[in-house]
């Protein structure tokens, strides 16, 4: 099939049979109508997908599943509604503008004197932060990453009946996680610790919540938190999603995540037998692989593993989870403690309800958090072809994406047949 050239003289590698029909009939499609094929071309097959699962959750006909390569793939007919593009933080959703709007609305609601009208002004590096401290669980769960704050807080909120469940990522093995809905403190504790696999977490918003589960929390990386926030802010009555039940969003600070298909071989290349590895950790700039007994099998600077990171992560401008209710990370606190940023009334209320589970120290070193966030933004600035613009429009069009990424190593690429095979077949 020959690629179609748009009015801007840009080749669109997503062109398919519909474009041929439109060309032959002389009846063009609506401008900027996006079929899944285009999200695949601009993000997934351009190797920019960060596995957040937002497109899967956004699709009103639940037409997107997970393909043989672990990436979003069409499993039913696409209706061309554009949602997969619009809610993708690597495509249609300008996450920095979303963060600006959310921060300003929260400030206005709180009657803060310097709150400006939503949609104006610029976004501070760490977004809106109303409080910050270092914390540690009173009773730290086995396997917890830093202070065990996320696990302890959520278990306490479940016990208190403040929430009925948590969507979170559970480590399956050293390289893989899977989304779960935890509804008991024990199930939350079984998810303690970090796993460096995105696992399309938001896809689990498509599952119907069990009876009695009405208020849930969601723990995710900043891109996942942007996705669920967009689903909440821009609901669609055709879409069945659990996003509306999410009353607490906890973001993990994040520099990068990894592709298990690349990370496994990269660890093996360090002379480690992969079947001996039961946990992979990133701490203080080093990647550590451990066996079942906690014995160290590998310790290398994490930058040596950068080729196994998700390529899309290099474009990410959100280190701390700007639209979360609470953001947490290790940076800024002593080892064994977690840095906590409070961003909203919902975050503050959850901390109050769960306070019995945590001990708190003043601090943390916010200059260190800012330094990491600034470094992330600088890194992204080198490859984010659309440019960083918190005052820009919330939605980025496919046409402007094609133009911005043309002639880069992230330009749109034709999807393989299995990604959206429907379009290979004539009716």
Ligand X SMILES: Cc1cc2nc3c(=O)[nH]c(=O)nc-3n(C[C@H](O)[C@H](O)[C@H](O)COP(=O)(O)OP(=O)(O)OC[C@H]3O[C@@H](n4cnc5c(N)ncnc54)[C@H](O)[C@@H]3O)c2cc1C
Within positions 80 to 99, which residues make up the interface with ligand SF4, using CB under 6 A?
A: 88, 90-91
| Distance of closest approach, residue 198 Cβ to ligand SF4, in angstroms | 6
Q: How far apart are CA 151 and CA 155, in angstroms?
A: 6
- When asked if residue 316 is in the footprint of ligand SF4 (CB under 6 A), the reply is yes
CA distance 98 to 102: 6
The number of angstroms, rounded, from the C-alpha of 36 to the middle of its chain's C-alpha atoms is: 19
Asked if 343 and 130 count as a contact pair (C-beta separation under 8 A), the reply is yes
Which residue, 91 or 267, is less far from ligand SF4 as judged by CB? Answer: 91
Number of residues engaging ligand SF4 in binding (CB under 6 A)? 28
Nearest to 220 by CA among 261, 253, 181, 192: 253
Residue 100: burial class (beta carbons within 10 Å; 0-12, 13-18, 19+): buried
> Does residue number 192 form part of the binding site for ligand X (CB under 6 A)?
yes
Q: Decide the pairing of beta strands 279-283 and 286-290.
A: antiparallel
Distance in angstroms (rounded) separating the CA atoms of residues 179 and 200: 8
Residue 222 found at the interface with ligand SF4 (CB under 6 A): yes
Can you tell me which of 74, 247, 313, 328 binds ligand SF4, judged by CB under 6 A? Answer: 313
Assess 155 for contact with ligand SF4 (CB under 6 A).
no
Neighbouring residues of 392: CB distance < 8 A, sequence distance ≥ 6: 94, 96, 97
218 contributes a contact to ligand SF4 by CB under 6 A: no
Here the contacts of 301-307 (C-beta below 8 Å, separation 24 or greater) are 305/258, 305/263, 305/266, 306/256, 307/262, 307/266
Collect all residues with Cβ–Cβ distance below 8 Å to 328 and sequence separation of at least 6: 146, 149, 150, 250, 251, 252, 253, 338, 339, 340, 341
**In which element (H, E) is residue 263 found?**
helix 260-268
Chain positions 53 to 82 lying near ligand SF4, rule: CB under 6 A, are 53-55, 72
Choose from ligand SF4, ligand X, none: what does 297 bind? Cβ within 5-8 Å by kind. none
Considering the complex, what minimum distance in angstroms separates the CB of residue 217 from ligand SF4?
Answer: 18
User: Which one among 43, 167, 328, 380 touches ligand X, defined by CB under 6 A?
Assistant: 328
Q: Residue from 193, 222, 260, 264 that binds ligand X (CB under 6 A)?
A: 193
Would you say 1 or 375 has its CB closer to ligand X? Answer: 375
Considering only 221, 226, 290, 420, the residue that binds ligand X (CB under 6 A) is 221
Candidates 99-107, 114-122, 251-259, 397-405: pick the segment binding ligand X (CB under 6 A): 251-259
338 binds, among ligand X, ligand SF4, none (CB under 5 to 8 A by kind): ligand X
- Does position 194 bind ligand SF4 by CB under 6 A? no
Q: Does 333 sit near ligand SF4 (CB under 6 A)?
A: no
Comparison of 262 and 385: residue with beta carbon closer to ligand X: 262
Cα–Cα–Cα angle for 84, 324, 190, nearest 5°?
A: 90
Does 196 help bind ligand X (rule: CB under 6 A)? yes
In 3D space, the residue among 119, 123, 196 whose CA is nearest the CA of residue 388 turns out to be 123
How far apart are CB 28 and ligand SF4 at their closest, in Å?
A: 26
- Contact with ligand SF4 (CB under 6 A): which of 257, 330, 344, 411? 257
Backbone angles phi and psi of 295, in degrees to 5: -70, 140
Residue of 10, 50, 64, 201 that binds ligand X (CB under 6 A): 201
Q: Does the protein bind ligand X through residue 255 (CB under 6 A)?
A: yes
Output the six-digit token pair for 241. 């999603």
* CA distance to 142, 352, 400, per residue, from 52 (Å): 27, 29, 23
Residue 313's binding partner out of ligand SF4, ligand X, none, with CB under 5 to 8 Å set by partner kind: ligand SF4
The stretch among 62-70, 229-237, 270-278, 327-335 that binds ligand X (CB under 6 A) is: 327-335
- What residues line the site for ligand SF4 (CB under 6 A)? 39, 43-44, 49-55, 72, 88, 90-91, 198, 200, 221-223, 254-257, 310, 312-313, 316, 318
- What residues line the site for ligand X (CB under 6 A)? 144-151, 168-169, 177, 191-198, 201, 219-221, 252-255, 257, 328-331, 338
């Amino acid at each position: 099939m020959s690629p179609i050239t748009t009015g801007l003289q840009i080749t669109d590698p997503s062109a398919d049979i519909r474009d041929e029909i439109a060309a032959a009939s002389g009846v063009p499609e609506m401008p900027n109508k996006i079929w899944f094929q285009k999200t695949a071309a601009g993000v997934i097959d351009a190797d920019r997908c960060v596995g957040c699962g937002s497109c899967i959750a956004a699709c009103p006909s639940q037409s997107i599943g997970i393909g043989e390569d672990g990436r979003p793939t069409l499993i039913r007919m696409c209706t061309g509604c554009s949602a997969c593009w619009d809610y993708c933080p690597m495509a249609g959703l300008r996450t920095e503008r979303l963060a600006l709007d959310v921060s300003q609305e929260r400030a206005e609601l709180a009657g803060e004197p310097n709150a400006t009208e939503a949609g104006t002004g610029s976004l501070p590096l760490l977004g809106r932060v109303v409080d910050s401290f270092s914390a540690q669980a009173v009773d730290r769960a086995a396997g917890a990453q830093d202070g065990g704050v996320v696990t302890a807080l959520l278990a306490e909120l479940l016990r208190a009946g403040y929430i009925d469940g948590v969507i979170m990522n559970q480590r399956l093995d050293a390289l893989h996680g899977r989304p779960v809905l935890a509804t008991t403190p024990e199930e939350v504790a079984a998810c303690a610790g970090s796993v460096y696999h995105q696992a399309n977490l938001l896809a689990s918003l498509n599952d119907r919540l069990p009876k009695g589960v009405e208020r849930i929390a969601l723990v995710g990386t900043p891109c996942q938190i942007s996705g669920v926030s967009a689903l909440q802010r821009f609901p669609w009555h055709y879409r069945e999603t659990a996003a509306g039940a999410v009353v607490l969003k906890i973001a993990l600070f994040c520099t990068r995540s990894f592709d298990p298909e690349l990370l496994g071989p990269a660890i093996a290349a360090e002379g480690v037998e992969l079947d001996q590895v039961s946990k992979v950790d990133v701490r203080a700039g080093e990647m550590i692989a451990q066996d079942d007994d906690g014995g160290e099998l590998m310790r290398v600077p994490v930058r040596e593993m950068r080729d196994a990171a998700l390529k899309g992560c290099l474009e990410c401008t959100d280190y701390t989870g700007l639209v979360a209710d609470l953001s947490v990370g290790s940076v800024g606190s002593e080892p064994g403690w977690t840095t906590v940023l409070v961003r909203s009334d919902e975050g503050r209320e959850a901390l109050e309800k769960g306070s019995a589970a945590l001990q708190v120290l003043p601090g943390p070193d916010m200059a260190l958090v800012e330094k990491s966030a600034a470094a992330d933004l600088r890194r992204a600035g080198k490859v984010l072809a659309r440019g960083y613009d918190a005052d820009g429009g919330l939605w980025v069009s496919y046409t402007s994406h094609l133009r911005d990424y043309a002639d880069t190593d992230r330009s749109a690429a034709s999807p393989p047949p299995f990604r959206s095979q429907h379009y290979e077949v004539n009716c």
